[in-house]
Structures are given as C-alpha cells and as structure tokens.
Amino acid sequence: MRKRRIVFLALAILFMLFVIMGRLMQLQLFATEHFSSRNINLIYESVKQRSHEILINDGRGDFLDASGQPLSYEEKTVLVLFPFLKNIDWDKASLAEIMRISESEISSLIEEADKPFIYGQLTSYEAEQVRALNIPGVIAISKEFPSTNNSAAQLLGLTGENKDEFEKRYPDKKGNTSMKIGITGLQESFDPFLIPENPSKLIFHVDGKGAPLFGIDVKLTGENNPFYPLRVKTTIERNIQDRLEQLIDDHNIVNGGALLLNIETNSIIASASRPTINESAPFSDDGTKNKMFEQHIPGSVFKTVVAAGAIEEELIKDDEVFNCSLDIRGEQAERDLGELKLDESFSRSCNLTFAELAKRLQKEDPNMLEKYASELGLIGNISWKKDLFHFENFKQFSHHQGRIFTEESSRKDLNYVGQTGIGQHEVRVSPLHVANMLATIARGGEMNAIKVASEIQYGDGSIMYKFPDIKVKDSKISPSTFMQLQSLLRHVVSDNEGTGRYFQDLPFEIAGKSGTGETGIFKDEEQLHNKWFAGYFPFKSPKYALVVVNLGVPINEGGVNLLFADIVNMIYEESHDAVEASKPIQ
C-alpha cells in the first residue's frame, strides 16, 4: 500500500513537472508573440519591462503637400533626458548654460523622472552644442510631431489603435496590435502603404531597480531601410489650403466648408470642412466628418442638370418664356420675376422654369434626371480607382455617391418631380460632386477621376508609384449642349439681375450657380437652409472649380458670396505671386 502511494505521488510530481515544462515551452517557444486569447507579445512586453525608451518616430508613413513638404507632421529638434543621469556624475553646468536654466532646475527634473522625457525644443545651434558635450543620456535629436495647424484635417483623417480591425486588415502581423492604423480619411485609404514596420526609439536597458544593465550608452533603434517608411505626396497646395482654412473661420462657417479643384488635372488643391476635429474626443460630434465629401440638399445648383437634359433632349423652344411670377405650385411667387427665357430663368434662379422642365424630362423617361446627373459627374464614384499592386480597385478616397430619388414612386409623381427639379425633395449631392460637375462642363464633357495624391514615395524621396490621370469617359451629352451650359453659368454672373452678379468685379471671370436648399429642419420656428455657390474660373481658360457651402443657417443669414469672392481674390494673389517668383532675376 505504501509503495502504491509512493508511485502515485511520484507520478503526480512528474505530471506537474510536465505541466510546468509545457507551460514554460508555451511561454518561451510556441506563443511568445501571441500569448493567450489577447495575443500578447511576450517578447515585446519583456523588453518593455526592462527598458527605458522614448518614441522618436512611430514608423508610420506620412503625407506631403504638392511641393513635397510635410503636411501631416512637423519635425522639431528636441532635448531628451534619461533618468539614469541622477546616478552618475556629469556636466550639468554646461547643459544649464546652453538651455539658459539653473543647474538646480535640471537636477530637480531628473530626480522626479522615472522615464525618459523631452525637456524642450532646440535651435540647430543649441543642438550642435548639446551633441558636442557628448554626455550619455543627454540627447539632441530630431523628432516628428503631429501637425498642430489642422490643415486639411478631415481629408487626411485620423489614426488610432483598434486591435480587432488591425488583425482583420493584417492577419500576418498578429502581436503588433499596439500599432496605429488609419481609421478615417486618407489615413484609412492609404493605410496599407503607411502601416509601420519598425518604430524609431531611443532605448536604454535597466535592471529591476532602474540601474544600467549594459552600460550607460543610449541606443537608437528603428527602421534601417532607407526606402521606408513610405510617404504619400498629395495634390494639396499648402499656402492655398492654409489661407482657405483661415478665410472659412474669418467668415464664421461652423458647419460647411470649401473645396477647390484643379480643372486641368481634376485634382484637389484644397479642402476644408467644419466643424473642426475635437482633439480630446474626436468622435463626440461631427468634427471628423468631411462635409465636402458628404451629401447635402443642393437647392438650385441642381438646376444645371435639368438645363442640360432639357437642352439635349430639345424640350425647349427657342423663343419659349416661363411665367416666373408664379411658384412651382402655380401660386404667386415671393419674387415677381415676370416672363423669362431659359438663360434669364437660370441666372435669376426661377423655380417654376426648372420644375416644369424636370416634369417634361421625366415624362420622356422616368430615369432621365439620373441619366443627366450621371453624365455630368454629379453622382456615382468619382475617386481615382484602379488596380494597384495586389490591391484590386484601390480608391484614393471614399465619399458619398449622391442620389436623385430614393423611392420609385417619387420619380413618377409630378409634384415630387417638380421639387426635384429645383434640387429639393430627395436630391442629395456632395460639394466634391458639384466641383466635379463644373470641371466636366468647363472641359466640354471630358470626365476624369478625381485625384488627391500624385505619387507614393520611398523614404529617400524616390518614386514608388506615380498616379496617372484617369479619363473615365467622354460624356454622351453633345458639345453644343456643353457650350450652352457654359454660357448659362457665365450669365449667372454677367446678368445684372443674376444671383452671381456680386462677382462681376473679381480679378477672374466667374461662371457658376448659386443654391439655397431647404432642409426641413427648424430652429426657433425658422427653417434652416444650405447656402451654396459653385463656380469655375477663369471663364475663357478654366483652371479652378470652387464650391463653398454653409449648412443649416437661417434664410437671412450665412450667405457665402463674400467667402467665395475672398477665396477667388486669395487665389489670384497666390497665382500672381507665383508668377512673379518664377521670373528670372534681372
């Protein structure tokens, strides 16, 4: 009996040893990078536990502006101090002299520190002096910081940590789930190219009491490959972008923004959206939403589509006039405009004319309005999209695609059709699409995909991939119709009673269309409106398409004409300065 107990005890001890050995093998060999259901990287956590480190660069790729300058980050030279300095003798006096502070202040800071810290920013001269001291643990180094001026913030987007989404996107990188990924804007769409491999850190190994483990040398670890991280060169012109942002704030746009498109390349020069991002709680409000890429009620801007369809389908007689003293219900209108032909109806924004023409179009074909909205590039995908490396149908950016009708019954109900003809009821389009429509008209029907990135660069500045211009198609609308649309858009400004007459004295000749969309939302018993002006210029040699919008404002407040004019004047100044700068020195 005693022998049996001894054997049983020996087997139990042996079993426990096997369990312990199995557990150790799991920890040391099999699950070191993805331990437990939480996929903990034990190697990383072990190194982290016995090291002091400070992040210099997280290794994530960045965005550049059109000239190749940093757009999403700022590079600063900073002084880094390590806590082990409290345990060694070093030249505090020289550092204090360079930084213009007392030795006691330096000592106090280091005594309180339990991890490396950035003391402050250095000039290039101060950095040279600090490096000349050659003191271990006193480091002058260049570090990247997120941009502080929020330039094109919603367009560029945000990054963040999301373990589940990280593993979904990058199943081969399990264990590195602390890496940030793009969650909105260009950060999300270009994430596969920007995701970091090896962050750059200043690192110093310590024992359990915080004493040096391998001497007092501080090591810089990180990406040694000069080709990484990658950078995305955008089409954003920084000077125009920053001035555009400032003008929007000067005009108190709190919900809306502006978008500027280069008509020749169909690329975004500047895009600003309000409200701004709340840095402390980004998703607590609409700040992360890019209002330039979202769909809104356009009001009379949509009359451009109705005019295109009516002209192309020959539904207007040459001498036909419309009774613009009546509204779309046949009652006395607020503005007694009298009888107007098409060009005057368009420039003075007569609702009855375009409600009537929309009904004629829909009687011809229930899909007619959507057909012409599509042919003008006002709905559907307009982002640059193409197979790129192993990514099928890679899109530079995501956006709302717009709509004309949501209910089948609406396209056949003439009352709803009349409202649709003036950009109301179920019509929703984005400022991006409106800019694209104007660019398509200005080019005479050539439809191109919109770009916001021109190339992907290696870390050394060489080109990995250059995004080509993509011609989507030539619109099926006839050239003569496009010429008439161009004339109508110009007449909005040249007509002394047109809704764009305010822009007659600008340095560029403007063609465009105003819009006031009724939102159906009331505040203090007053309905709120979306105020638009969308135009292109110079009229005879188009280069820019500009859309400004102020969303959800009372009818007698929040006009955008002054803002549009100020942006045009700013662009003229910028283009004039660029011409002057390019002239050879005499």
Residues belonging to the active site: 300
Expressed in angstroms, the distance from the first to the final Cα of the chain is: 112
- Helix 431-442 and helix 479-494, axial crossing angle in degrees, nearest 10: 110
**Would you say 265 and 451 are in contact if contact means Cβ atoms under 8 Å apart?**
yes
- Number of C-alpha atoms within 13 angstroms, CB side, residue 285? 11
* 3 state DSSP class of 438: helix
The residue among 227, 61, 203 whose CA lies nearest residue 144 is 61
Strands 231-234 and 526-537: unpaired
**Would you say 412 and 367 are in contact if contact means Cβ atoms under 8 Å apart?**
no
Joined together, the tokens standing for residue 349 give 């924004």
Looking at this protein, which amino acid is placed at residue 480? S
Give the residues across from 537 on adjacent strands.
544
**Would you say 245 and 272 are in contact if contact means Cβ atoms under 8 Å apart?**
yes
Strands 453-457 and 231-234: antiparallel
Please report the DSSP string for 106-143 in residue order: HHHHHHH-SS-EEEEE--HHHHHHHHHH--TTEEEEEE
Whole-Å CA distances, 563 to 46, 153, 438: 57, 20, 19
Widest CA span of the chain, in angstroms?
A: 119
Three-state SS for 330-384 is CCECCCCCCEECHHHHHHCCCHHHHHHHHHHHHHHCCCHHHHHHHHCCCCCCCEC
Whole-Å CA distances, 442 to 147, 271, 446, 511: 35, 20, 9, 9
Residue with tokens 């004047």: 569
Tell how far CA 4 is from the center of its chain.
75
Looking at this protein, which amino acid is placed at residue 163? K
**Would you say 62 and 72 are in contact if contact means Cβ atoms under 8 Å apart?**
yes
User: Peptide bond preceding 275: is omega within 30 degrees of 0, i.e. cis?
Assistant: yes
Region for 273 from its dihedrals, namely left if φ exceeds 0, alpha if ψ lies in -120 to 50, beta otherwise: beta
Degrees to nearest 5, angle at CA 287 with 282 and 292: 140
Joined together, the tokens standing for residue 516 give 């006031």
What ranges in 376-535 are assigned the alpha helix state H?
Answer: 414-421, 431-442, 479-494
The number of beta carbons lying within 10 Å of the beta carbon of residue 339 is 13
Three-state SS for 169-201 is HCHHHCCCCCCCEECCHHHHHCHHHHCCCCCEE
**Would you say 492 and 511 are in contact if contact means Cβ atoms under 8 Å apart?**
yes
**Would you say 242 and 570 are in contact if contact means Cβ atoms under 8 Å apart?**
no
**Would you say 244 and 76 are in contact if contact means Cβ atoms under 8 Å apart?**
no
Residue with tokens 């929703």: 428
